[in-house]
């Protein structure tokens, strides 16, 4: 890297529309979606590959609503390590089209049973997501993606236990209050013991993919006055119409600027003024925080670090009776969101 900035991870929303209506999510409410066809999706991927991206995470909206998802993932996997995040409703049905083109699959679960259904706005969404996880886990390394809100704090530990029972991994986000969604970010005092507990579970070998340092960084920043240094330039985000979202997808609520294929990304990355965002600390999204903690000095070991690390972790991980000690893990483009 030696002073030169370039994105390593990419997140791409394939659409905004969704079959669920989560309280804390701004995306299904948007009316400005422009859907691209496969040829333009390939243009995006080629531009990202030129920019130096190694890992591409597909998301949305609900990516499994796209009829061409299998073709998009096949093209993606020919160029990058890939992940996809889904609400799981259509997962069992679409699995044969997607599994072979993914290195990691994230399925969102925001609590157990009724808690999840209430947050997601649709009855039976918990059962559908768990059914999808059961179907998927033998075909592709599968990870529960759990967003902590003020309405599901009490379920965090039960979600860890569910991940252990299902023998899948778990990634944890803290809800961010987007202007165009319901403000469900947890109260700081109520969140504190949950973060500490998740960190301790991580240290004792629970299948949580974030590092203990990720939880320590949140604790240091929000409760100890010790900010972490955000490096949003490690991740590039692309909206459904192919535009780059700068500086991160959080601050401008996924407002894109120029189409990525019209931009010299490396030049933009090295002229954009990133400094004001280093001390931002507004969000605790793992897709930005966790890579920011890592010293990215040797990109040649990226695959080993990101994909193989996660897959090995999942293989070693969740046996409830004998929790292994986890290694360090860098999460990928979750989802962004």
Ligand X SMILES: C[S@@+](CC[C@H](N)C(=O)[O-])C[C@H]1O[C@@H](n2cnc3c(N)ncnc32)[C@H](O)[C@@H]1O
305-330 exposure pattern, b = at least 16 Cβ within 10 A, e = fewer: bbbebbeebbeebbeeeebeebeebb
Q: Kindly give, in sequence order, each residue whose CB lies less than 8 Å from that of residue 31, ignoring residues fewer than 6 positions away.
A: none
Cα dihedral sign, 162-166-167-171:
negative
114 versus 262: smaller Cβ distance to ligand SF4 = 114
Is residue 27 within the footprint of ligand X (CB under 6 A)?
yes
- Establish if 18 lies at the interface with ligand X (CB under 6 A): yes
Helix (H, G, I), strand (E, B) or coil at 66: coil
* DSSP code, position 51: H
Ranges within 42-61 binding ligand X (CB under 6 A): 59-60
- Please choose, out of 22-30, 238-246, 256-264, 308-316, the segment that lies near ligand X by the rule CB under 6 A: 22-30
The answer to whether residue 151 forms part of the interface with ligand X (CB under 6 A) is no
Residue span binding ligand X (CB under 6 A) among the ranges 82-90, 230-238, 257-265, 267-275 = 82-90
Write out the residues near ligand SF4 by the rule CB under 6 A. 18, 20-22, 25, 27-28, 60-62, 87, 120, 230, 232, 247-248, 250-251, 277, 280-283, 285, 288
Cα of 202 vs its chain's centroid, Å: 18
The answer to the question of residue 147 lying near ligand X (CB under 6 A) is yes
- Concatenating the DSSP letter of every residue in 70-83 gives HHHHHHHHHHSEEE
Select 251 or 311, whichever has its Cβ closest to ligand SF4: 251
The secondary element (H helix, E strand) that includes residue 269 is helix 265-269
Least distance (Å) from ligand SF4 to the CB of residue 173?
Answer: 11
Q: Which is nearer to ligand X, 25 or 163 (CB)?
A: 25
Nearer to ligand SF4, 42 or 171 (CB): 171
């Amino acid at each position: 890297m030696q002073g030169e900035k370039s994105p390593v991870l990419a997140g791409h929303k394939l659409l905004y529309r969704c079959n669920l209506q989560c309280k804390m999510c701004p995306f299904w409410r948007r009316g400005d979606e422009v859907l691209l066809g496969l040829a333009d999706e390939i243009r995006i991927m080629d531009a990202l590959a030129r920019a130096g991206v190694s890992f591409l995470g597909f998301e949305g909206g609900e990516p499994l609503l796209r009829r061409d998802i299998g073709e998009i993932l096949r093209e993606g996997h020919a160029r990058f390590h890939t992940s996809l995040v889904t609400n799981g409703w259509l997962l069992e049905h679409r699995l044969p089209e997607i599994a072979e083109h993914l290195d990691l699959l994230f399925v969102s679960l925001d609590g157990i049973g009724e808690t999840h259904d209430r947050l997601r706005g649709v009855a039976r969404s918990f059962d559908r997501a768990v059914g999808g996880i059961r179907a998927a886990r033998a075909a592709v390394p599968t990870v529960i993606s759990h967003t902590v809100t003020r309405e599901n704090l009490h379920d965090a530990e039960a979600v860890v236990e569910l991940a252990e029972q299902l023998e899948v991994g778990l990634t944890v986000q803290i809800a961010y209050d987007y202007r165009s969604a319901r403000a469900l970010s947890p109260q700081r005092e109520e969140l504190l013991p949950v973060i500490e507990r998740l960190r301790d579970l991580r240290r004792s070998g629970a299948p949580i993919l974030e590092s203990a340092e990720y939880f320590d960084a949140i604790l240091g920043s929000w409760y100890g006055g010790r900010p972490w240094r955000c490096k949003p330039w490690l991740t590039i985000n692309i909206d459904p119409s192919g535009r780059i979202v700068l500086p991160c997808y959080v601050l401008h609520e996924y407002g894109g600027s120029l189409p990525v294929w019209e931009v010299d990304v490396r030049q933009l990355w090295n002229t954009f003024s990133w400094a004001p965002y280093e001390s931002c600390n507004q969000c605790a999204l793992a897709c930005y925080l966790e890579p920011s903690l890592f010293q990215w000095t040797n990109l040649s070991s990226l695959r080993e670090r990101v994909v193989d690390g996660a897959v090995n972790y999942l293989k070693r991980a969740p046996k409830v009776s004998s929790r292994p000690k986890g290694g360090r893990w860098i999460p990928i483009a979750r989802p962004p969101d």
